[in-house]
């Protein structure tokens, strides 16, 4: 089992089998307390598992049907690593929340980001969330430089 020796896992997360829309809908239908569905558009550590065509767009439609946020963990797949800027772009999906890392720094400095629309991000009031490394000016500059290289060298188109 791939999870052997790891843990404890984050509480209040229910695991949905990857690429299983029926299991996702059953969970969303049966549990009114689900706030979000978090998914890697392409699973990385699970063996580089690519979902069936249309999986992400159908998952997004289910999330919209049940008023659930779709969170795309693009830490390993985002920023031109799959031939598009984001792996979720391959299915035409715009997640409600996107998590980025790794390529955001070009491998130079620890940088990550969480992106979302204002209506989501502005629910966090000053003082409700903190970060030990947040706002580091060197990390910010490294991230900007990495994004400029992605854009200027058309890396998504050349992946």
- What is this structure's pTM? 0.92
Query: 11 in a domain, yes or no?
Result: no
- pLDDT tens, 96-128? 999 999 899 888 888 999 999 999 999 999 888
Specify the pLDDT at position 127.
86
The tally of domains found in the chain comes to 1
Residue 134 has pLDDT above 70, yes or no: yes
Residue span of the structural domain in which 67 resides: 21-152
Ordered alpha helix ranges (H), 2-136? 21-30, 55-65, 118-121
Query: 2 in a domain, yes or no?
Result: no
Residue 109 sits in a domain whose CATH number is 3.40.640.10
Query: 73 in a domain, yes or no?
Result: yes
**How distant, in Å, are the alpha carbons of 99, 128, 129, 134 from that of 80?**
14, 32, 29, 24
Residues 6+ apart with CB under 8 A from 69: 35, 36, 37, 63, 96, 97, 120
Structure token digits, residue 130? 């903190």
């Amino acid at each position: 089992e791939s999870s052997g020796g790891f843990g404890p896992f984050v509480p209040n997360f229910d695991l949905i089998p990857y690429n299983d829309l029926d299991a996702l809908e059953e969970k969303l239908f049966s549990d009114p307390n689900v706030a979000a569905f978090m998914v890697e558009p392409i699973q990385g550590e699970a063996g580089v598992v690519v979902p069936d065509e249309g999986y992400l767009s159908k998952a997004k439609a289910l999330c919209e049907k049940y008023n659930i946020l779709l969170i795309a963990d693009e830490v390993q797949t985002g920023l031109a690593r799959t031939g598009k800027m984001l792996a979720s772009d391959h299915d035409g999906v715009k997640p409600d929340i996107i998590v980025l890392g790794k390529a955001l720094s070009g491998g130079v400095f620890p940088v990550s980001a969480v992106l979302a629309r204002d209506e989501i991000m502005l629910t966090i009031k000053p003082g409700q969330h903190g970060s030990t490394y947040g706002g580091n000016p060197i990390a910010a500059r490294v991230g900007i430089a990495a994004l400029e290289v992605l854009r200027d060298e058309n890396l998504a188109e050349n992946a």
